[in-house]
Each structure stands twice: as structure tokens, then as C-alpha cells.
Structure 1
């Protein structure tokens, strides 16, 4: 009889994923200072894919060889890396990393809507609905209304981030197609597929051999590839299988308070009492959206 996943462990992994992806916006911001977006993301997917390939080889796990699975890998790559990574990197040339985090935190909302209106493959409970609303309310309290005062500036860049957010939602739902595979397999397969798509574009558009990236950008790229991509993707595909697509994307709510905490520790920033209340709302929203994914009952189902 298969052992049930430990909920506390899965929630810890959710927090780790939020931290890894929360840090990625800062890495991208530093990276695009001297590395063009397409080349940055091409290198990101290539390095991260190579790391995961090495891990799979060490564990003596082989990638699938059938065309059907690789078609799914390529589609997953478009939804989860090629399009959203590139859009966010391009946007962060003119948009602050903090604003990118705020806009990108709407992933669970898109996932919720896609699940309800189109896919309908996952139970949508009253508790999850509460989680969506509590999470959004928490983000508004943590960040404050004034943080969105620049929403009208760099409009195209902000729309690009919202499109990336919708792609992430589609990726979370589509990744259910990899159920039964070791989490590192679709992570590696989709990243390799992303590199195959982006590398030729980088060679033609950016001519990377002519670039002179700074040491800071290179280090940011390496951290982005190893931690915020390779490790994060392996955790991501595991959580989709255990917490579900809506539950997994709820980590987006945690990115903002994590960023605020980093600011307090390293930049001397401070939180208002309202923001602390918002942080509690965020944690409540995440718990509400993830716990039902493991423990929900048919009585809670509303769709």
C-alpha cells in the first residue's frame, strides 16, 4: 500500500519553493543589467536542465524516449519557462522586482479560474475559495495600496508579467499529465526543451559571443539556474502531484512576505502593523488552499 505524503513536509517544500522563486526576481533584475533577456533565459534553462540531467544520471533514471512524452515536455516548456521566463526578464528591464512579484502573485487566481471554467479536473472547495480571497487580501495589506501606485507606468511590461502569470497557471494544470514520473524527469525534460527553443533565438538575436556581462550578472544567472530553476522545478513537479495545481500555485502568496522579510533583514526595512496582519492572512490563505488538497471531502466540493 503506497505511503501517504506527509502534509507537514509538503508544506515545508511549498515554503522552500516560494523562497527559491521569490529570490528569482532579484536574480533576474541583476542579470538583465548586462545580459539580454532571451540570452539570460536560454542560459538559465540550459544550465538548469544540465544540472537535472546530471542528477538523473547519478540516480540512474533515464528520460523517456517516446515522442508523445517529449511533445508534452515541449508544451510544458512553453507554458512554464520559455514564454513566462522571457516575458518577466524583458519586463524587469523597466519594472522593479517587487512590482513583478506582486503582479506574478496572481497565479493561483488564474489557476482557480482555469480549473473551474475549463479543466474541472480538481475539486474546488469553499475552503480553497476562501484561500484565494484571503491570499489576495493579505498581499494588499502586506504591500500596501501605495505599492501599486506605479501600475500605470511601463504598461506593456506589466501586461507581459500578467501574461506570464497566466502561463504559469496553465503550466500548473498541464503538469498533471506527468503524474507517475519522478518529479525530476518532467523538470529536466521541459528545461531541455526550453533550451532547445531559446538557444537558436539567442544566437540570432543577441549574438551572445559579443556580450560583456558583469560578474554580478553572471553570479545571478548561476544562482537563478541552480537554485531558482533546477531545484525549484524538481520541488514544483513533486508538489503538483501531492498538493494539486491550485495548492502548488498558492506559494505565489508567500513570495511577497518572503521578499519583505529579506528587506527587513538585509536592507533595514520595516513592516507596518497592517502589513503584519496581511502576513497572517497570506499564511491562512496558503493553508486553506493546500490542506484541502490532501484532506478535502466531497462535502466541501462546490464545483
Structure 2
């Protein structure tokens, strides 16, 4: 029988998805100053995936398994390509702080879409009330963007709509990984590697079709952007994402989704401190409402 995971390993994994992931929103925004979105996704996930495959090879893992590659690639496209692509495009409309605040509703979508757990998830009044409250918080943020006057008539509320789609995609990918990529037979680190490579390939195809590769000027990329990209590859993808996939195997999906408690707080602090982003009272109120709702549905 497999040994249960150690408490230290679980704590370290939660630190990565709580704190490190919260910081990635800011560094994505930094990279987007110099990298087109599809190119950023290509380099980030292709490099991280290839590096993890090399590590798996050194560990003696069997990598070329059709079932493993197919399931992992599907999961990677849903989790990484759609969600991260949405985040990058949304940051053309809204700040990294607001992106992270909206992403905090992911835990609610996971609970709403986790059909096998409906009987358990919706048996208490507080859970249902928490979900309703959370979506009211999302509505607050959307209405704020809808009513704000922006130069040039920009429709910044589109960023919120994009983020809602990204949250749903991340929830679907999380549940797919939870129920269809499980156990030692489906790979551990190698599954994460193939997920990243799957996303990287789709990002590359989109970059080629959209002309993002031809618009990239490597000589104009600043040192800060290169360092931010390295941070996203090593800490955001290779370490934090792998920790997330591992936690989905050893802990309940709704518990792992509680990274939504901390990610937006970290992102708001970093965005306001390093990026000098404006955080409105409505955004802070929306964050409070969403986090209270997530705590209501996960109060145990």
C-alpha cells in the first residue's frame, strides 16, 4: 500500500500554491510588457515541461505511454492553455490585482461543477448561501468595470467576462485531473510535464497563426522581463503547478481549491506594492465577499 503523504510535504505544497501562485499574477503582467501573450505561454510551458521530462528521465520514469500523454495533454490544455491564456489577455483590460480577485471564485466553480460530490456539497444551507454570496461578489466586480469610464471607450468589463470563462475552465481541468488522472499508474511528475508540453504546443500553434512570433523583438526584451519569465517557469510552473497536481491526488479537490483564499491577497499586496496598481474599495469589498463565501462553503 502507498504511504500517506507526510505533513511537511503537504505543507510545502500548500505554500507553493498559496503564496507562489499568488505572486505569479504580477510577474505575468511584467512579462506582457515585452512578450506577446501566446509567445509567453509557449516559452513558459514548453521550457518547464521539457525540464520536468528530463528530471523524470533521470528518475527512471517511463514517459512514452499513450494513455498518460493523452490524458495529461487534455488536462493541460484545459487547465493551462485556456486559463492562463485568459489571464494574459484579461490583463490587457484589468490589473493583475483584479485578475487575482476574480480568480478567487474558482473554488466556487469547482464545488458547483463537482457533480459526484453534489449530495455532500449541497447538503447544508451555509454551503448554498456561500455559493450565492460568492457570485454576488463576482457581480459587484463586473458592474464596477461596466460602469467605469475609460479613455477611448475601452470595454474593460470584457476582462471580467474573460476571467469568468477562465475560472470555469480551471475548475473543469481540476476536476478532470482529480477523477481521470490518478494513482501511480498515471504518472506523477511526468503527468505534470506532459500537461505543460500539451499547453505549450497549443500556445505555439496560436502564436504562429496570430503572428506573435514575428512581432517579438528579443533585443527589446528587458532584463526584468527575462527574470520574471524565469520565475514563472521555475517557481510558477515547475514547482507550484506540480505541487497542485500532486495535492489533487492526495487531498480533496475542494480543500486544494482553498488556495483561492490566499492568492488574491498576495497578488493585491504585490500589485499595489511593486506595481503601484490602484485597488478600489469596491474591489476590496468584492474580494472580502468572495473570500467569506469560499470560507462558508469550506468551513469544515
TM-score when normalising by structure 1: 0.77
Q: What is the DSSP-based 3-state SS (H/G/I as helix, E as strand, rest coil) of the residue aligned with 1:149?
A: helix
Spell out, residue by residue over 1:227-281, the C-alpha distance to the aligned partner (whole angstroms, 9 max, x if none): 11111121011110122222212211211222345468768999x9xx8xx98x9
Residue aligning to 1:220: 228
* Counterpart-to-counterpart distance in 1, 2:127 and 2:117: 18
Match of 2:163 among 161, 164, 170: 161
The alpha-carbon distance between structure 1 residues 128 and 13, as it changes in their structure 2 partners (threshold 3 A), is farther
Spell out, residue by residue over 1:55-108, the C-alpha distance to the aligned partner (whole angstroms, 9 max, x if none): 212322232422x33221221122111111111101112210000001111111
Q: Would you say 1:61 and 2:61 are equivalent positions?
A: yes
Contact 2:72–2:181 (CA under 8 A) maintained in structure 1: no
Match of 1:180 among 183, 187, 193: 183
Q: Would you say 1:124 and 2:121 are equivalent positions?
A: yes
Residue aligning to 1:16: 16
Residue aligning to 2:72: 73
* Counterpart-to-counterpart distance in 2, 1:132 and 1:175: 27
Q: What is the DSSP-based 3-state SS (H/G/I as helix, E as strand, rest coil) of the residue aligned with 2:5?
A: coil
* Counterpart-to-counterpart distance in 2, 1:85 and 1:149: 23
Match of 2:263 among 255, 266, 291: 255
Q: What is the DSSP-based 3-state SS (H/G/I as helix, E as strand, rest coil) of the residue aligned with 1:35?
A: coil
Q: Would you say 1:149 and 2:109 are equivalent positions?
A: no
Uncovered stretches (5+) of structure 2, i.e. residues with no partner: 148-154
Cα RMSD of the aligned pairs, angstroms, is: 3.8
Uncovered stretches (5+) of structure 1, i.e. residues with no partner: 293-303
Contact 1:254–1:282 (CA under 8 A) maintained in structure 2: no
Quote how far apart the aligned CAs of 1:24 are.
1.3
Quote how far apart the aligned CAs of 1:44 are.
1.2
Quote how far apart the aligned CAs of 1:226 are.
1.4
Residue aligning to 2:150: none
Spell out, residue by residue over 1:207-233, the C-alpha distance to the aligned partner (whole angstroms, 9 max, x if none): 525522222222212211111111112
TM-score when normalising by structure 2: 0.78
Q: Would you say 1:133 and 2:130 are equivalent positions?
A: yes
Contact 2:104–2:291 (CA under 8 A) maintained in structure 1: no
Q: Would you say 1:238 and 2:246 are equivalent positions?
A: yes
Count of aligned residue pairs for this structure pair? 281
Contact 1:38–1:86 (CA under 8 A) maintained in structure 2: yes
The alpha-carbon distance between structure 1 residues 266 and 201, as it changes in their structure 2 partners (threshold 3 A), is closer
Residue aligning to 2:111: 112
Contact 1:48–1:225 (CA under 8 A) maintained in structure 2: yes
